[in-house]
Chains A and B, each alone.
Chain A
Amino acid sequence: MSGATVLVRPGSYHDSVTLMRVSRAVSALPGVEVAMVAMATALNVSIIEELGFAVPEAGPGDLLVAVRADDPRAAVEEAERHLSAAHRPQAAPEEQRPLTTRSAATAAEDAGLVLVSTPGEHAFAEAYDAIEAGRHVMIFSDGVPVAQERRLKELAEARGVLVMGPDCGTAVIAGAGLGFANVLSPGPVGVVAASGTGAQQVTCLLDRAGAGVSHVLGVGGRDLSAEVGGLSTVRALRMLDDDPGTELIVLVSKPPAPEVARAVRELPLRTPVVPALLREGGTDLTEAAEQALRLLGRPVPEWPAWPAWRGARPAAKRVTGLYSGGTLAAEAALITGSRDIVDFGDDAYTRGRAHPMIDPALRVEALATAGESDVVLMDVVLGHAADPDPAASLAHAVARSPATVVVALIGTEGDPQDLHRQAAAFREAGAAVFTSNAQAARHARSLL
Chain B
Amino acid sequence: MTGLLDTPPRVITVGAGLFDEALRAQAVPTVPVEWRPPLPGTGEALATVLADPRRRAANELAVGRLLSARPQLVGVRRAAEVLPVRTFLHAGPPITWERASGPMRGALIGAMLLEGLAADADEAADRLAEGAVELRPCHEHAAVGPMAGVVSPSMWLLEVHDAEHGGTAYCSLNEGLGKVLRYGAYGPEVLERLRWMDRVLGPALAAALGRTGPIDLRALMAQALQMGDELHNRNRAATSLLLRALAPAVVEAAPGEAAAVLRFIDGNDHFFLNAGMAAAKVSTDAARDVPGSTLVVAMARNGTDFGVQVSGLGGRWFTGPAGVPDGLYLGSYGPGDANPDIGDSTITETAGLGGFAMAAAPAIVRFVGGEVADAVKATRSMYEIALAEHPAYQIPGLGFRGTPVGIDVTLVARTGLPPVVNTGIAGRVAGTGQVGAGLVRPPVEAFTSALTALADASPQRP
Write the residues of chain A forming the contact surface with B, with a CB cutoff of 8 angstroms. 11, 13, 15-18, 59-61, 86, 89-91, 96-105, 107-108, 110-119, 121-126, 128, 130, 132, 134-136, 140-141, 145, 147-148, 151, 160-162, 173-179, 181, 214-215, 239-240, 243, 245, 358, 384-385, 416
Contact = CB atoms under 8 A, between A and B. Distances in A.
Contact of B5 (A61, A132, A160, A215): A215
B51 A148 contact: yes
Contacts of B377: 96
Interface in B379-421: 380-381, 383-384, 410-411, 414-417
B19 A100 contact: no
B25 A384 contact: yes
Interface in B174-210: none
B116 interface: no
A162 B17 contact: no
Interface stretch (B33-41, B155-163, B257-265, B319-327): B33-41
Contacts of A176: 8-9, 11, 23, 26, 28
Contacts of B47: 124-125, 148
B215 interface: no
A130 B56 CA distance: 14
Interface size class of B (residues with CB under 8 A): 35 or more
A249 B389 CA distance: 45
Given A100-B411, A105-B12, A177-B26, A132 B56 contact: yes
B9 A111 contact: yes
Contacts of A132: 56
A110 B10 contact: yes
Given A100-B14, A112-B4, 6 more contacts: A104-B33, A118-B35, A126-B33, A148-B47, A239-B4, A240-B5
B31 interface: yes
B12 A130 contact: yes
Contact of A100 (B3, B8, B415, B462): B415
B255 interface: no
Nearest to A112: B9
B14 A126 contact: yes
A408 B410 CA distance: 46
A99 B35 contact: yes
Contact of B14 (A16, A89, A118, A124): A118
B1 interface: yes
B314 interface: no
B224 to A, nearest CB: 26
Given A99-B384, A148-B462, A125 B50 contact: yes
B288 to A, nearest CB: 24
A101 B33 CA distance: 7
Contact of B37 (A13, A98, A104, A112): A13
Contacts of A161: 1
A209 B22 CA distance: 25
A359 B345 CA distance: 53
B19 A178 contact: yes
A117 B1 contact: no
B51 A173 contact: no
Contacts of A384: 22, 25-26
A118 B34 CA distance: 11
A239 B384 contact: no
Contacts of A121: 43
13 contacts: A15-B17, A17-B18, A104-B12, A113-B10, A114-B12, A116-B15, A125-B50, A130-B12, A134-B1, A140-B19, A160-B2, A176-B28, A243-B5
B4 A162 contact: yes
Contacts of B410: 125
B64 interface: no
Interface in B39-65: 40, 43, 46-47, 50-51, 56
B443 to A, nearest CB: 16
A135 B36 contact: no
B13 interface: yes
A393 to B, nearest CB: 17
A113 B12 contact: yes
B21 interface: yes
Interface in B108-128: none
B212 to A, nearest CB: 41
